[in-house]
Structure formats: structure tokens, C-alpha cells
Structure 1
């Protein structure tokens, strides 16, 4: 049985995952406006992943007998000058998510909530991948600088990304 404190913390984080989805959907739109269709696809996939994460938390709370509270969301930025800026902001955001997941994990350990500890392990591993992907893109973008051909090559590579639903996701976006 999940504690009220743990359920509230997960509910709060679930809403942060929804905010993340909105952030990446906005970035997809901005990338499209910049003529970077591949990056728009990449951010669209990122949006779908965050929605899947949201639903994993949602389902977990429902399975624990909790009532979901959807919180009012803050507006997300919708203006970026470069792809590098978007990806750098993505890394900063994913580092925030990592900290929040780690905080949830620590709370689950303190409460001896083994079910929540197990549930959160997938997210701990996922965040390593998220941050690594962002760092790789940042390194490539810094390598090419303002070279339009280089940016277009990276854009084309980003466009190859496809959405793969995470295990345990019951609602598809």
C-alpha cells in the first residue's frame, strides 16, 4: 500500500511529465518553423515518450487505488533561435527530471515502499538514456557550429527517430 505522501509526490511528478510533453511538442513546432523537419520529428517522438511516461505514472497510481489530481500547467516557451538552444534546454530539463526521479526513489527507500522502488527503477535507467542522447546531440551540434550543411545532416539523422512504446504502457498516444 502506498502512503499518502508518496502518492502525492508521484502525482506531482506525473504532472511534471505532462509538462515535459507540452515542452517537447512546443519545441517540435519551433523546429518545424525553423525548417528543421527532422528535429520536429525528434521532438514529436520526445513528446510521445513523455506522454507514455505520464500514463505509466497515471496507471501506477490508479493501480494503487489513488485518485489522480491533474494540476494546472504552466505555459511552455515557444520561441527558440537555434536547434542547439533547443537541445541544450532539453538537457537541462531532463536533468531536472532525473533529480525528481531520484528524489522519488529516495523517498520510496525511506518509506520502505518496495513496490514504488521497483516501479521507479525503469525511470532511473530511462533518464540515463535521455541525458546521454541530449549530450550526444549537443556535441554534434557544437561540432558543426553554424555550418548549414552540418545542421541539415544532423536534422536528417534526428528525423530517423521513431517512437517505441515503453514496456508497461497501457494507453497509447
Structure 2
């Protein structure tokens, strides 16, 4: 008996997004390494935590595909792009990644709607809400850097921003509570 509850197109699209989430994790890891190498341990720590959150999103997609009788397909993860030029570039890139990810989630929602796959449509609503939180978090990073002085921020302002992000809780509450064991 066939127990798969996903269309082939949906199974592929969800697997593709699982791989995008893994790529996002690697991007945040690379930005965290860059920030730490530049002496911003707090910002690096913040980005490392966010890398784990993105990894948990990939696991959430994997579990859903398996729970619907499908088989996730793991693809090659491309190398993250070039290192940021500075903190402004880093935070702007974070925002762009989140906006691109939102667009990808919306395409999945459209596919679920078109297929009348209400279970998947419902599953994806968590990610729609999550992307609002992710984009807000990225905008807040940009705003905080601007308040610190942007490109002309003093060393003291950057030191304080770095320390603030070291201990700042992530604003994405749902994602923070999701783990590989409890996606």
C-alpha cells in the first residue's frame, strides 16, 4: 500500500527547502567565523546560535517529509559566498538571506494551496510566522548598528554592540524552542 501523502512535486520542493535551510546554516556559520576572526566574539556567538537555528529548520522539514511518507533528498550544499566587507555588509547580507528565504517559503505555500495539500499548507504557516520574526531580527541588527554609528561607529560603540549581541536572546521564540529532537 502506498502511504506517501505528498505529491512528487511537493516532496521535491520541501526537500529543496530543507537543503536551503542547511545552506543558510552554513552561511550564518561562515559569517560567525568572519565576525569572530575580526574580534567580534559576541556577534560571532550570535551568528553561531542563528546557524544552529537554521539547522533545526532543516530538520523540521526533514521530519515533516518523513512523517508524510516521503523521503527527503539531501543535495550538495554550495559554498557560502565571500566574507562580508564589514559589519554593515554582514548585517545587510543577513537581511537579504532572510528576505530570499521568505520568498522561497511563500512559493511553497503557493504550491501547497494549488495542490490543496492542506496538511502541508498548515505546516508551512509556522515558517511564514518564523520568517516575520527572522526579517525583524535582521532589521533590528541593521538598526542597532546604525544607532551605534554605522560605518563611522566608534570602537566603544562597536564594543558595546558586540557585548549586547553576545548575551541577547534570539527574538525567534518558536525557532529557539525547536530542536532536532523536537522540531
- Asked if Structure 1 and Structure 2 have the same fold, meaning a TM-score greater than 0.5 normalized by the shorter chain, the answer is yes
Q: Which sections of structure 2, spanning at least 5 residues, go unmatched?
A: none
> Is 2:111 the partner of 1:107?
yes
Supply the RMSD in Å over aligned alpha carbons. 1.7
Distance 1:81 1:148 in 2: 17
Write the deviation string for residues 116-166 of structure 1: whole angstroms up to 9, x where unpaired. Answer: 011001100000011111111101212312222111111111111357765
Q: State the SS of the aligned residue for 2:109.
A: helix
> Is 2:179 the partner of 1:157?
no
Determine which structure has greater relative contact order: mean sequence separation of CA pairs < 8 Å that are 6+ residues apart, divided by chain length: 1
Distance 2:168 2:52 in 1: 12
Q: Which sections of structure 1, spanning at least 5 residues, go unmatched?
A: none
Instruction: Answer yes or no: is the 8 Å Cα contact 1:108–1:117 preserved in 2.
Output: yes
Write the deviation string for residues 34-65 of structure 1: whole angstroms up to 9, x where unpaired. Answer: 10011001100110100100000000011111
Write the deviation string for residues 3-55 of structure 1: whole angstroms up to 9, x where unpaired. Answer: 11111100001100000000000111000001001100110011010010000
Tell me the number of residue pairs that the alignment of Structure 1 and Structure 2 aligns: 172
Match of residue 8 from structure 1: 12
